[in-house]
Structure 1
């Protein structure tokens, strides 16, 4: 079985309006209002179902991968990273945007794991895809489980990444989530989804 799950229409954000649905908005115009590394702010002129014409702004960004990495002993590889928006160190799973050179989502997951933690996986398994904030963003997160992760490479951090690597047990990570010590939404969703449903290969 391939590391990557087959792509489906459900995995990609919609690119066209759906005029068949009476709730659908009609997009009249679309332009980037502001651009920065990581995302754009897009401004669109839209027509609502009642005929009202107005504007809508949202964050426009590339899909990302989230990796739940397990060592051969069953521990979880986590990162601790400074997050300027909330002014604190954030404990989380490795996360990063897909790059044009990535062959597929699984390749992106392997690359992000290696770059952020220096670990490489024996295999990766697709978990799920979610739209975490589709009221304000077209962000799409692809979750993967990585098995047999060992520290065989050097970190390759971006200029604005401040990251240290640690390991923990599943039980400790779950407890940190329960006690609200881990507040990262991607980490919370990734672990709880995995514990509830596992992967397609399990």
Structure 2
């Protein structure tokens, strides 16, 4: 028998939003536990994100290096971004992020995996796509600013990224999950076994 996560919602007797930011907020819920007690849970409310593991014809992954202030590090990552519009099609958002951050387009798209980044304290859901058949994007380059103005781009072999993850040298959630998922797919049933790019995503429903 396989295992899978299932939807469930415990009774909330009170809720408030003590902080609202530009993109996210903090919510406080009073939640009824199985024993009848009521406990308070604080968590970040997040619109959701997409990420793109872009694999070129030479088996290299497109990665970028960006400063992340909360952890005070420059992290190697894969292109990613927020779902800025409620109900936004995640594939369209992923295509936009790949263009804006790497000036690249892809012809073949699959869903690599779906994850909750930190479900104990945040409701962020991320869909990670696998993109192949890469080429340079058309039109003008997207004008970057703030942390993105300092980004570095590179193309790195999958096995080198796997080595870096397992050695504790690479820490970005989407890169770690994406690279290890791809390695598992390549060692298992192959890329054709992945879900199509428009596969349903219950965590962030969208219109095709």
Range into which the TM-score falls when normalised by the shorter chain = 0.7 to 0.9
Offset of residue 99 of structure 1? 2.6
Distance 1:100 1:144 in 2: 19
1:182 corresponds in structure 2 to: 170
1:31-77 superposed Cα distances (whole Å, 9 cap, x missing partner): 22112233111111222222222321001101211110012333211
Q: What RMSD over aligned residues (CA atoms) do the two structures have, in Å?
A: 2.5
TM-score when normalising by structure 1: 0.80
SS of residue paired to 1:148: strand
SS of residue paired to 1:180: coil
User: In structure 2, do the counterparts of structure 1 residues 51 and 180 end up closer, same or farther at CA, with 3 Å as the change threshold?
Assistant: same
- Asked if the contact 2:48–2:83 (Cα under 8 Å) also holds between the matched residues in 1, the reply is yes
Do residues 93 (structure 1) and 81 (structure 2) align? no
The equivalent position to 2:95 in structure 1, one of 110, 113, 117, is 110
Query: Unpaired segments of 5 or more residues in structure 2?
Result: 195-208
Residues 137-146 or 98-107, more deviating? 98-107
Q: Which has the higher helix share?
A: 2
SS of residue paired to 2:70: coil
Offset of residue 174 of structure 1? 1.7
TM-score when normalising by structure 2: 0.78
- Asked if the contact 1:126–1:200 (Cα under 8 Å) also holds between the matched residues in 2, the reply is no
Corresponding pairs, count = 184
- Asked if the contact 2:79–2:101 (Cα under 8 Å) also holds between the matched residues in 1, the reply is yes
